[in-house]
Structure 1
Amino acid sequence: MSTVKPAARAGVSLSLKGRALRLLAAREHSRAELERKLAPYEETPGELAKALDELQAKDFISETRVVESVINRRAARLGTARIRHELLNKGLGAEAVATAVSSLKDTELERAREVWRKKFGEPALDAAARGKQMRFLAARGFGADAIRRVVSQAEDD
């Protein structure tokens, strides 16, 4: 069974705009992500920038939607630091990232509690287990203060 798509078999290649729309149909992408993914397909200099300018003018590419999408998908499982890192890797503007991060900081403690509850559910019995719980939350991008409060509060219950 062949894995080549029908259009490729017929010798028809997608335009840059078509490729971008296919990527955008799957999930929101920032302009920088699209540039990185589509650069190998650019045949003439400036062609990719022109296609992305057109898509951005028609609001197919939106920095705000990318931020909202990442927050909606990741906030329930990850801390502010990890989400901030992911947003920066997508090539989003510093101002948009800062705004998103400030809104996430308000809920970080509650999100850390929920992640801890799903993974562990009961207080650590010794220092090694407490360290494991703290490292788990830290790896998810939660701040030290939130981690300390979640783990110590679990022991107080």
Structure 2
Amino acid sequence: MSAVLDTPVAVRRTAMDLLARREHGRVELTRKLRQRGAPPELIDEALDRLTDEGLLSESRYLESFISYRARSGYGPMRIREELGQRGLQRSDIEQALRESGLNWQAQLTETWQRKFAGHLPADQRERAQQTRFLSYRGYPLEMIGRLLSGRGVDD
């Protein structure tokens, strides 16, 4: 049976339990607490306090999410869209992507090699298939085109 979230202590404890598992953004944490039956005024109070204490941090959440999704083979466009759907500010997302220090061309190459064993497309059908996959993963068409034409990053 789940705990009743009708006191500030119960809301804070549940929020901290969620944060102990992984980083969360404020919007996502608010949604999860509401689903568990916490009243909005208690949620705001608890999250403000967690933010003041440094336990809830949008910047840490952004950094963690970008790193995780990039390691999973997703590109900047897909990550940007997913973060936007999670209610984060576009300017914060852009800044976090810039500060991530990720080499997106290297990430693209690694994803392509894992999926297609590093084989350049032999015909238009294969090229379209590889392009669709990499585009779905969130890589820009310009980067995909450069990779599939066999040109290096510096070309």
TM-score (norm 1): 0.83
CA RMSD of aligned residues (A): 2.0
Cα distance change, pair 73–54 in 1 and its aligned pair in 2 (3 A): same
Could you tell me whether the CA contact under 8 Å between 1:80 and 1:104 is conserved in 2?
A: no
Shift of 1:28: 0.3
Amino acid at match of 1:35: T
Aligned to 2:41: 46
Cα distance change, pair 136–22 in 1 and its aligned pair in 2 (3 A): same
Could you tell me whether the CA contact under 8 Å between 1:80 and 1:105 is conserved in 2?
A: no
Aligned to 1:149: 146
Stretches of structure 2 lacking an aligned partner (at least 5 in a row): none
Report the Cα distance in structure 2 between the residues aligned to 1:127 and 1:103, rounded to whole angstroms. 36
Aligned to 2:92: 96
Aligned to 1:36: 31
Which one has a bigger Cα radius of gyration?
1
Q: Does 1:26 align with 2:25?
A: no
Shift of 1:90: 2.3
CA deviation profile, 1:81-109 (whole Å, cap 9, x unmatched): 01111221222222221112334697222
Cα distance change, pair 105–151 in 1 and its aligned pair in 2 (3 A): farther
Stretches of structure 1 lacking an aligned partner (at least 5 in a row): none
Cα distance change, pair 104–57 in 1 and its aligned pair in 2 (3 A): closer
Aligned residue runs from structure 1 range 1-157, under 5 A: 4=1, 8=2, 13=4, 15-40=10-35, 41-43=37-39, 45-76=40-71, 77-103=73-99, 107-120=103-116, 121-153=118-150
Could you tell me whether the CA contact under 8 Å between 2:59 and 2:96 is conserved in 1?
A: no
Cα distance change, pair 51–105 in 1 and its aligned pair in 2 (3 A): closer
TM-score (norm 2): 0.84
Cα distance change, pair 106–33 in 1 and its aligned pair in 2 (3 A): closer
Amino acid at match of 1:19: T
Shift of 1:48: 1.1
Could you tell me whether the CA contact under 8 Å between 2:63 and 2:100 is conserved in 1?
A: no
Report the Cα distance in structure 1 between the residues aligned to 2:101 and 2:20, rounded to whole angstroms. 30
Alignment identity in percent? 36
Report the Cα distance in structure 2 between the residues aligned to 1:53 and 1:143, rounded to whole angstroms. 37
Report the Cα distance in structure 2 between the residues aligned to 1:106 and 1:16, rounded to whole angstroms. 36
Cα distance change, pair 145–82 in 1 and its aligned pair in 2 (3 A): same
